[in-house]
Structures are given as structure tokens and as C-alpha cells.
Amino acid sequence: MPKQKLNPLPAAAFQILLALADQDLHGYGIMRQIAEQTGGRMRLGPGTLYGSIQVLLEEKLISEVEPRDDEKLGHERRKYYRLTPEGRKLARSEAERLADLLRVARAKKILRGDYV
């Protein structure tokens, strides 16, 4: 998959990287974590979720770890995903880019305060 797929980084992919920032999660866990971190505004459907996971795996931004059960969800083997150092780096640079945008928003006086 060419790098351009993630440039610019789609919102869903960025949310997945953020969801995995502090824990390994399975697909449904990622979906729930994203819903939580966006206050319920973003609920990834299976197509978007696994499509993004596939690209992130191909780009080695996340990796698959040993499948295991999630006791809370019954006895079903689940694939778990983990953020790689490259994934963390990309998430950080995306966050910095957004911080930059925020600065522009301030400059435009959309946000008031000590501008620009």
C-alpha cells in the first residue's frame, strides 16, 4: 500500500492510533475506545475499522499480537492490535499538525486570547 494512503492521515486511522496509545485492543475494543474518546461522535463501522486496520498493518504502524479471549465478551478468540513505535511517531506528528491548525485558528481570531 503506498504511503500516500495515509497522507493526509484519515480521521479514522488517527483515532485508531490514539485508541491504541496506551493499551492493546481488539476490533470491538478499538471501536468502543474511539466512541469514548470522541464522546460518542465517531462510531466506526466494521468496514471502515478493518479497512483502516489493514492499511495501518501494511504500513507497520500497528501490529497484530497473539489472539486471546476477552473474558468480558465471552469465549471467542479475538485478534488484538498494538501500536508500533512508528505508529506512535505518526500519531504525535499528526497531533502536532492539529496543534498548528489550532494556532492558525487563534491567528484568525476564531479563538480569542493572545493571538496569532
Positions that interact with another protein (CB under 8 A): 1, 5, 11-12, 15, 27-28, 31, 38-39, 41-51, 53-54, 73, 76, 78-79, 98, 100, 103-105, 107-116
Decide whether 38 or 88 has the Cβ nearer to another protein.
38
Q: Give the rounded distance of the alpha carbon of 97 from its chain centre.
A: 15
Q: How far is the CB of 45 from another protein (least distance, A)?
A: 2
Question: Where do runs of H (alpha helix) occur along the chain?
Answer: 11-19, 27-37, 46-58, 85-107
- Tell me whether residue 22 or residue 114 sits nearer to another protein (CB atom): 114
